[in-house]
């Protein structure tokens, strides 16, 4: 499916974008990969690591609809990862988040429809579920926009969402923060609340899941991977078992536990072998049977009142698994982009549909 195609990555100079490009170059033969972002320094640095001639760097902001229209000409698939993501700044600068996360999503939708893009996947977050902070509220709004876009695109362009939790290997997670203060000689680790839990997914797993969802999507779904949870105290103990914890209290807009599926949406939720999907709350035209996805896999409705939360999860990440995942990420970053499939054993992408 991705061979001989043109793929646009918004926010492409972030952790996700870099891993995405590594996998695309190793497993597929796209005609062109467009990295779209507003930071020319990050684009320059990225161009020094990725020497492939099929990568095109384009400066621009998702707030700029005209620029998006330009760069989306001839594009087949869009992975929309650009967003403002940190919770505290959004609480005091809400319009900046609304401009990027909401209006930017609207611009992506319009440009994709106007340019007859085949498929768009927008990257969401657990913060969008029952949001209590501005960031989460903007991502929930963006999710609603993308799902509703399937009813205005005449189905020529399909829009779906991928939603998951915290990413091991992402610069924005608590892991690099803890690692930094440990290196600097911290005598204790700050913990917001001993009860706190979070969903976790490895960076390469998130890219695998996005690619699988791209092949499975029919437009209108929210794809949610089955991933483990971990207590924040266990995470801190894994990184620095000798350091005590200092309880500092929950930050503004922060939750004790995270949700990926709510009981209010249980009537729309289907369970597949490796994921859940939430169907759109309205009928599409033409109708879609979401119980059978785009590659023929079948799902079943979840029980009434089902909820997928980080504290009630049946999968839990051990300290040993966390440390192994972090080492995986470190080793992956050291691996040259040019390595072949057989030389990159830390990836397991054989199940990704390619047609």
Q: How far apart are CA 271 and CA 279, in angstroms?
A: 11
Q: Which helix (H) or strand (E) holds 55?
A: strand 55-59
- How does strand 55-59 pair with strand 77-80? unpaired
Query: What angle is formed at CA 229 by the lines to CA 251 and CA 309, rounded to 5 degrees?
Result: 75
Catalytic amino acids? 127
Name 212's Cβ contacts closer than 8 Å, sequence gap at least 6. 274, 351, 352, 353
Answer for the pair 337, 50: CB distance below 8 angstroms, yes or no: yes
Return d(Cα 127, Cα 130) in angstroms, integer: 8
186: part of which helix (H) or strand (E)? Answer: none
Q: Which two tokens stand for residue 38?
A: 């507003």
Sheet (strand 269-271) strand order: 55-59, 32-37, 6-10, 77-80, 119-123, 158-162, 222-225, 275-278, 269-271, 300-301
Could you tell me the CA-to-CA distances from 235 to 14, 180, 317, 347 in Å, in that order? 24, 15, 9, 24
Secondary structure (DSSP) of 141-156: HHHHHHHHGGGTSTTS
Tell me if 222 sits within 8 A of 143, measured CB to CB.
yes
In the numeric block, the tokens 């996360």 are attached to 101
Bridge partners (DSSP) of residue 223 are 162, 277
CA distance 248 to 91: 19
CA distance 214 to 1: 9
CA 193 from chain centre, in angstroms, equals: 25
Name residues whose C-beta falls within 8 Å of residue 131's C-beta, 6 or more positions apart in sequence: 137, 139, 140
- For the chain, the C-alpha Rg in angstroms (whole number) is 20
């Amino acid at each position: 499916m991705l061979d001989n195609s043109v793929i646009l990555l918004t926010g492409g100079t972030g952790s996700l974008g870099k891993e995405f490009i590594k996998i695309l170059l190793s497993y597929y033969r796209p005609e062109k990969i467009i990295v779209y972002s507003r930071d020319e320094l990050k684009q320059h640095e990225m161009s020094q690591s990725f020497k492939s001639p099929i990568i095109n760097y384009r400066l621009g902001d998702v707030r700029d609809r005209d620029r998006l229209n330009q760069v989306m000409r001839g594009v087949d698939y869009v992975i929309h990862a650009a967003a403002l993501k940190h919770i505290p700044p959004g609480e005091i600068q809400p319009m900046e988040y609304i401009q990027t996360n909401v209006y930017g999503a609207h611009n992506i939708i319009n440009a994709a429809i106007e340019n007859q893009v085949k498929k768009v996947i927008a990257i969401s977050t657990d913060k969008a579920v029952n949001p209590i902070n501005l960031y989460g509220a903007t991502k929930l709004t963006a999710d609603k926009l993308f799902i509703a876009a399937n009813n205005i695109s005449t189905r020529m362009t399909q829009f779906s969402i991928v939603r998951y939790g915290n990413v091991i290997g992402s610069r924005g997670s608590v892991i690099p923060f803890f690692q930094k203060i440990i290196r600097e000689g911290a005598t204790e680790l700050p913990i917001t609340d001993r009860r706190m839990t979070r969903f976790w997914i490895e960076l390469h797993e998130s890219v695998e899941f996005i690619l699988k969802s791209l092949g499975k999507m029919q437009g209108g779904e929210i794809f949610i991977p089955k991933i483990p949870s971990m207590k924040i105290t266990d995470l801190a103990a894994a990184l620095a078992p000798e350091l005590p914890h200092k309880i500092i209290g929950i930050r503004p807009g922060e939750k004790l536990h995270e949700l990926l599926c709510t009981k209010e949406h249980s009537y729309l939720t289907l369970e597949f072998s490796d994921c859940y999907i939430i169907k759109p709350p309205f009928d599409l035209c033409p109708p879609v049977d979401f119980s059978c996805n785009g590659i023929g896999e079948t799902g079943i409705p979840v029980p009434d009142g089902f909820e997928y939360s980080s504290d009630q999860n049946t999968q839990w990440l051990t300290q040993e698994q966390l440390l192994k995942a972090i080492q995986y990420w470190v080793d992956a970053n050291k691996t040259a982009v040019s390595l072949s499939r057989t030389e990159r054993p830390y990836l397991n992408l054989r199940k990704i549909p390619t047609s």
